[in-house]
């Protein structure tokens, strides 16, 4: 039996949050019985899990677009299944790279746009422009007329796009080396940003969305702003899928992921206690589909990068020992088991009665109230586990930035 990981007691704020979901439950149950409603909600969850998102990455030769394809998927350039990188154009045809955790998220490495004879119309026909939900246009130097031509055509096609100025860290390092006494990173960043805006505006693009990045340290500079913009502007029904696949490199994205997952807890709980329920050994009056709950908890760990494989990769990327990150994680680090879920349900059942009473106060939920303790227990368990996963992810993020800060201090002391 695992030791308790949930704090005892259901706070007033959580009771209120649970109560809010009775409205969604009431609406769902006006259409049928528990099995019928659970089947519909299961289809809803499956559609969320199967939503496809296609992202086109383009730019000039040597701009780092293939490295960006790898980085956004959490891979290094030498990892298996990574996009080929090099100083010459490596991409001849549009090449799909599925996200390793979410294979319905496809990152496309597109041919370069650096040729003097570049024609945006023919290029978009060649890469099948309608395939993509949005585009990322990358340069490692100044933006050119080719970048602007492509952007104008994408505007005509009604496609969203974002400009990335890559390898900013290289320019910062070069400036520090050339002007060590007068060096100012803030000044270098400002100059690069102004140059990007001025060149694109000179080509007739108003208010271009430009983000400055280091492809080898995505957490620096504007990556958080890029994530925010893309999440806010992607089609609403695809937002959850995109959020789950984005790297956990800002507190804001962690909070957005958590908020999106919390919206689905009542769906998960209804399906788990409404389809193929079986009595949970040792947990009185609770019956559910334990396999479904195993999948849910594994999904939380995967979304926040808390599985041991993800933590190992993070340790490699930051040059820190694995134990530093493992110490920040309090939810199980290894595969979720049936025994663990049973134990967690047992812990959650102690505080489920408050929400069960809320269900009994909504007459239309009579069908659900018959298994109210099951629903309330599952809901409570999922919510508590998710809250802990978010806290762990925030701690890992803090440790990641601490690692980068220490590494930077060490580099500066050696200069």
Among candidate residues 110, 115, 93, 117, the one with its CA nearest the CA of residue 58: 110
Predicted model pTM: 0.85
Burial of 20 (0-12, 13-18, 19+ CB in 10 A): exposed
Burial of 45 (0-12, 13-18, 19+ CB in 10 A): middle
The SS3 call for residue 135 is strand
pLDDT at residue number 16: 44
Contact present, 153 and 120 (Cβ < 8 Å): yes
All residues at 6 or more sequence positions from 239 whose CB lies less than 8 Å from its CB, including other chains:
231, 260
Structure tokens belonging to residue 121:
């119309």
How far from chain centre, in Å, is Cα 308?
A: 18
**Interatomic CA distance for residues 152 and 131, integer angstroms:** 18
The SS3 call for residue 407 is helix
Strand arrangement, sheet containing 210-212:
95-98, 105-109, 53-59, 134-139, 160-165, 210-212
Opening angle at CA 109, ends 105 and 115, nearest 5: 155
Per-residue pLDDT 10s for the chain (415 aa) are: 445 665 544 444 444 454 455 555 666 666 666 777 788 888 888 888 889 999 999 998 888 888 899 888 888 777 777 777 654 445 578 999 999 999 999 999 999 898 878 899 999 999 999 999 999 999 999 999 999 999 999 999 999 999 999 999 999 999 899 888 888 889 999 999 999 999 999 999 998 999 999 988 888 899 989 999 999 999 988 999 999 999 888 899 999 999 999 988 888 988 998 888 899 998 888 889 999 999 999 999 999 999 988 999 888 888 889 999 999 999 887 889 999 999 999 988 877 666 666 655 555 455 555 567 788 889 889 999 999 999 999 999 998 877 555 444 344 444 4
Homologous superfamily, domain 51-245: P-loop containing nucleotide triphosphate hydrolases (3.40.50.300)
Structure tokens belonging to residue 210:
């430009």
**Interatomic CA distance for residues 338 and 340, integer angstroms:** 5
The SS3 call for residue 164 is strand
For the chain, what are the domain ranges?
Answer: 12-31+251-413, 51-245
Structure tokens belonging to residue 152:
């104008």
pLDDT at residue number 319: 85
Q: How far is CA 355 from CA 22, 139, 342, in A?
A: 9, 54, 20
Opening angle at CA 393, ends 388 and 397, nearest 5: 150
Among candidate residues 335, 374, 334, 340, the one with its CA nearest the CA of residue 355: 374
pLDDT in tens, 144-183: 999 999 999 999 999 999 999 999 999 999 989 988 888 8
DSSP secondary structure letter of residue 288? E
pLDDT at residue number 96: 94
Estimate the crossing angle of helix 353-360 against helix 372-413, to 10 degrees: 130
pLDDT at residue number 396: 93
Q: What are phi and psi of 142, to 5 degrees?
A: -80, 145
**SS3 track for 41-108:** HHHHHHHHHHCCEEEEEEECCCCCHHHHHHHHCCCCCCCCCCCCCCCCCCCCCCEEEECCCCCCEEEE
Burial of 245 (0-12, 13-18, 19+ CB in 10 A): buried
Among candidate residues 292, 297, 326, 294, the one with its CA nearest the CA of residue 309: 326
Opening angle at CA 86, ends 153 and 129, nearest 5: 20
């Amino acid at each position: 039996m695992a030791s308790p990981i949930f704090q005892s007691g259901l706070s007033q704020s959580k009771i209120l949050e649970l109560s809010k979901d009775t409205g969604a439950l009431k609406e769902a149950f006006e259409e049928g019985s528990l099995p019928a409603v659970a089947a519909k909600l299961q289809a809803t969850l499956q559609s969320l899990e199967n939503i496809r998102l296609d992202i086109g990455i383009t730019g000039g030769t040597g701009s780092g677009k293939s490295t960006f394809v790898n980085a956004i998927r959490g891979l290094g350039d030498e990892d298996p299944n990574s996009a080929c990188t090099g100083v010459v154009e490596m991409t001849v045809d549009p090449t799909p790279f599925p996200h390793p955790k979410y294979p319905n998220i496809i990152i496309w490495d597109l041919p370069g746009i650096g040729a003097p004879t570049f024609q945006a119309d023919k290029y978009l026909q060649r890469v099948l422009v309608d395939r993509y939900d949005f585009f990322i246009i990358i340069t490692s130097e100044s933006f050119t007329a080719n970048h602007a031509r492509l952007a104008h055509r994408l505007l005509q096609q009604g496609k969203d796009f974002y400009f990335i100025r890559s390898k900013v860290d290289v320019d910062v390092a070069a400036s520090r080396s050339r002007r060590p006494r007068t060096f100012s990173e803030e000044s270098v960043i400002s100059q690069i940003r102004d140059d990007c805006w001025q060149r694109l505006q000179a080509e007739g693009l108003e208010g271009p969305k430009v983000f400055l990045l280091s492809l080898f340290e995505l957490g620096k500079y504007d990556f958080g702003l890029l994530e925010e913009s893309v999440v806010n502007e992607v089609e609403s029904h695809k937002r959850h899928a995109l959020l789950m696949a984005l790297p956990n490199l800002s507190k804001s994205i962690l909070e957005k992921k958590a908020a999106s997952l919390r919206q689905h807890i009542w769906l998960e709980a209804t399906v788990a206690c409404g389809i193929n329920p079986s009595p949970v050994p040792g947990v009185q009056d609770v019956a559910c589909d334990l396999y479904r709950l195993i999948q849910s908890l594994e999904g939380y760990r995967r979304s926040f990068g808390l599985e041991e494989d993800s933590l190992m990769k993070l340790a490699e990327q930051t040059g820190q020992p694995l134990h530093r990150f493992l110490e920040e994680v309090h939810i199980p680090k290894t595969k979720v088991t049936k025994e663990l879920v049973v134990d967690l349900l047992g812990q959650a059942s102690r505080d489920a009665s408050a929400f069960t009473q809320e269900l009994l106060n909504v007459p239309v939920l009579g069908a659900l109230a018959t298994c109210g303790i099951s629903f309330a227990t599952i809901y409570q368990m999922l919510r508590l586990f998710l809250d802990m996963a978010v806290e762990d992810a925030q701690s890992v993020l803090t440790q990641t930035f601490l690692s980068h800060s220490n590494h930077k201090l060490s580099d500066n002391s050696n200069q």
